[in-house]
Structure 1
Amino acid sequence: MTGKVGIAIIGLGPASLPHSKSLLDLADRSQVRWAVSRSQVRGDAFARQFPFPVTTDLDAVLADPAVDAAIVLTPPSSHLDASARCLEAGKHVLVEKPLELTSARGARLVEVARKAGKVFGVVLQHRFRPASLRLKAALDGGELGSVEAAFLRVPWWRPQSYYDEPGRGTLARDGGGVLLTQAIHSLDLFRSLVGVSKVVAAQARITTLHRMETEDYVSALLETGSGAPATLVATTAAYPGHPERIEIIGSKGFAALVGGRLELSFLDGRSEIVEAEGSTGSGANIMDFPHDAHRAVIADFLDAIRQGRDPVVTGEEALTSQRLVDDILAAAGWKAGEGAAP
């Protein structure tokens, strides 16, 4: 493919902000042909922030031969339908996490993408942080030795006002609670680093801090791909919100990835630090993070289109992470709505 990749942004909610900023940065490689919203009011507000053509007519956008690819940022409940329409119109697709409300619907979307033969990627941007890439290199290169144990903690905070917004924290709109909506980024990164071969045991509940349908607290005992023990704790009830942590005990050293900051400590006395780019959106302001990792996701997507290859995070990869969420909640015997505050 030569020239700039023509992009359509579909869905102009909060998730469109880091993507739009990223596309401005990548203007030498891509051109936003359209930004699409069903809401004229939301479209007008978006147009006051970004210099992209805005429309409510998705059919016209999909019929535009100048549009090569779509970035789908609609709510999870519409990912299958919106992405399938784009793929069937011959467009490459990058879709926000999670794939869909359920793994079954996510699997259908992956199959549609496979049959369409188009590049299909999922926005799980934590894999693209510099500290994450350095940690993966250290693990893959044997610098940390064998994985002896691993820990994942996501102590985030969301106020009740967040869950009071229509559909927030419901199965019908979001498909799940803290694991699928917030911790999926860290869980996906964790799985890509050490693997998860087994869910040994789990607990899930709704704390008294929230009134919601889905879970706001989960803990689990896991086994890594090598069989080493691992633990998980994820919540949106840890005021005022703290950076997520991945810690790995290796036979040759220890790694602590806190938000976007990595500290490596080796048994031979060496140490290394990769500093973070900024906040992680762990508190009440859900958009309190830099857009660097989103830019890297989109850059990889553009490269995949040009090179005719898969992106780093394929639909299959995202589906594996979503199925892990299912396995953890199943091990917890979780039923949505249990434990809700009165």
Structure 2
Amino acid sequence: MMNVAIIGTGAICPSHIKGYLEFQDRCKITALCDIYPEKAEAQAKEFDLNVAIYSDYKELLRQENIDLVSVCTPPYTHAAITIEALNQGKNVIVEKPMASSLKECDAMNEAAKRSGKILSVVAQNRFTSPMMKLKHVLDTKLMGPIVHTQVDSFWWRGHCYYDLWWRGTWEKEGGGCTLNHAVHHIDIFRWMNGMPSEITAVMSNVAHDNAEVEDISIAIGRYENGSLAQITSSVVHHGEEQQLIFQGKNARVSVPWKLKASKSLDNGFPVEDKELQEKLQKEYESINDLEYEGHAGQIEDVLHAIEGKKEVLVDGNEGRETLELITAIFESASLGKTVKLPLDETSPFYSREGIIENATYFYEKKTSIENFKVNEITTGGKYE
């Protein structure tokens, strides 16, 4: 039986609690920690948890009976807490984004390597049936080479969203919608189609004048083979419709699932390729729906890895690559230039200090509140 602790009991914490409670025969939540201990106590009461409450994560991590830690705190704290947990011999699931800089990611991965413990970065949207089915279809290569990808990471957040004390600043949140919302779809895009070789991007803040960071960005990724990808990250889109579309040489597939295959008439105009469509549909349907999805699915993946049954799907290297792509978007948009990938310590955006110094500041953060009274959130991932 694995003992689990959760550090940070804000809006995303219930997703972790519900996930762990799906596996009560394999793990048990024994501790919650928050700088506002009354928030931890409220979560314990809501879920009827018999747990120890801590206000200092270092004190919690000194407890020898903790096997696995979920880090659910603001992005700028992820590195310090994760590294300390790994150094104390704990396995770690850290919320997205992995950290607020590539330099911190590298330090986290080094700590994981040194400790020999599991480090997994939350990417719960991978753990959905539509995404796993789409990944399988792409892996068959029946579509031919991918020639264009469209990523629409559309969210909507009200003006007061950025009033929370750590949001809306480059120092504490590390960026806006590109980092903290589109990270889900950028991770899936990169997982399914690999890293582009260069990024050209623009970003703006059109509806949140209480935040330093962007509320919309549009990026174009270019691959060595000439394939292009467009990535839109937003918290100004009503309806929060989210999709990824892959246009192959032979067919188009997407999530939400849509399939179309064409072949050429003698004059170059399209005609439906029913045979290929039937093959692709059969491949899509060949993958069974997941028993556990979202955070529960990722927690199951990590439990299997700790038990030695498989490699973890989303490790620290995966988390770093996703942040690398996001960092390239910030660098390109802020400096007004095309950015070549991969990024290393020579990038002016490699460290948190470099980001704070070089990023575009749209507005001054004018309001800072400790907590919201309403704790309800949307997490996306509905791809029907």
TM-score normalised according to structure 2 size: 0.78
Q: 1:336 matched to which residue of 2?
A: 360
Deviation at 1:155, TM superposition (A): 2.0
Q: 1:211 matched to which residue of 2?
A: 210
Number of equivalent positions:
320
SS at match of 2:137: helix
The one-letter code of the counterpart of 1:112 is A
Contact 1:156 1:235 in 2 (8 A): yes
Change (3 A) 1:341 1:76: closer
Max Rg structure: 2
Does structure 1 residue 264 correspond to structure 2 residue 259?
yes
Change (3 A) 1:63 1:202: closer
SS at match of 2:73: coil
Report the more deviating stretch, 27-36 or 296-305: 27-36
Unaligned runs of 5+ in 2: 263-272, 336-358, 367-384
Deviation at 1:20, TM superposition (A): 0.5
Change (3 A) 1:251 1:113: same
Q: 2:95 matched to which residue of 1?
A: 96
Q: Deviations over 1:190-245 (max 9, x none)?
A: 0111123223421111114543101111111112475411111111112x232211
Q: 1:75 matched to which residue of 2?
A: 74
Deviation at 1:336, TM superposition (A): 3.0
SS at match of 1:245: strand
SS at match of 1:338: coil
SS at match of 1:99: coil
Distance 1:82 1:222 in 2: 33
Deviation at 1:128, TM superposition (A): 1.4
SS at match of 2:334: coil
Structure 1 runs of 4+ aligned residues shifted over 6 Å read 339-342
Distance 2:365 2:168 in 1: 14
Q: 1:322 matched to which residue of 2?
A: 323
Distance 1:115 1:5 in 2: 22
Does structure 1 residue 188 correspond to structure 2 residue 187?
yes
Deviation at 1:97, TM superposition (A): 0.8
Deviation at 1:42, TM superposition (A): 0.5
Deviation at 1:38, TM superposition (A): 2.5
Unaligned runs of 5+ in 1: 278-290
Distance 2:327 2:11 in 1: 26
SS at match of 1:188: helix
Change (3 A) 1:148 1:168: same
SS at match of 1:176: coil
Distance 1:63 1:112 in 2: 17
Q: 2:382 matched to which residue of 1?
A: none
Deviation at 1:341, TM superposition (A): 11
Contact 2:201 2:220 in 1 (8 A): yes
Distance 1:34 1:339 in 2: 39
Q: 1:306 matched to which residue of 2?
A: 307
The one-letter code of the counterpart of 2:38 is V
Distance 2:219 2:243 in 1: 15
Does structure 1 residue 17 correspond to structure 2 residue 18?
no
Contact 2:168 2:212 in 1 (8 A): yes
Give percent identity, aligned residues only. 27
Contact 1:179 1:234 in 2 (8 A): yes
Contact 2:196 2:224 in 1 (8 A): yes
Q: 1:285 matched to which residue of 2?
A: none
Distance 1:339 1:229 in 2: 32
Distance 2:188 2:46 in 1: 31
Change (3 A) 1:228 1:339: farther
Q: 1:51 matched to which residue of 2?
A: 48
Q: 1:252 matched to which residue of 2?
A: 250
Q: 1:280 matched to which residue of 2?
A: none
Change (3 A) 1:136 1:224: farther
Q: Deviations over 1:51-70 (max 9, x none)?
A: 32141154553333332111
The one-letter code of the counterpart of 1:263 is K
Distance 1:226 1:298 in 2: 36
Contact 1:12 1:73 in 2 (8 A): yes
Does structure 1 residue 243 correspond to structure 2 residue 238?
no
SS at match of 1:255: strand
Q: 2:378 matched to which residue of 1?
A: none
Equivalent residue for 2:25, pick from 10, 22, 28: 28
SS at match of 1:201: strand
Contact 2:211 2:362 in 1 (8 A): no
Contact 1:110 1:316 in 2 (8 A): yes
TM-score normalised according to structure 1 size: 0.87
**Residues 79-228 of structure 1 mapped to structure 2, 5 A cutoff:** 79-224=78-223, 226-228=225-227
Contact 1:202 1:332 in 2 (8 A): yes
Distance 2:194 2:224 in 1: 4
Deviation at 1:25, TM superposition (A): 1.0
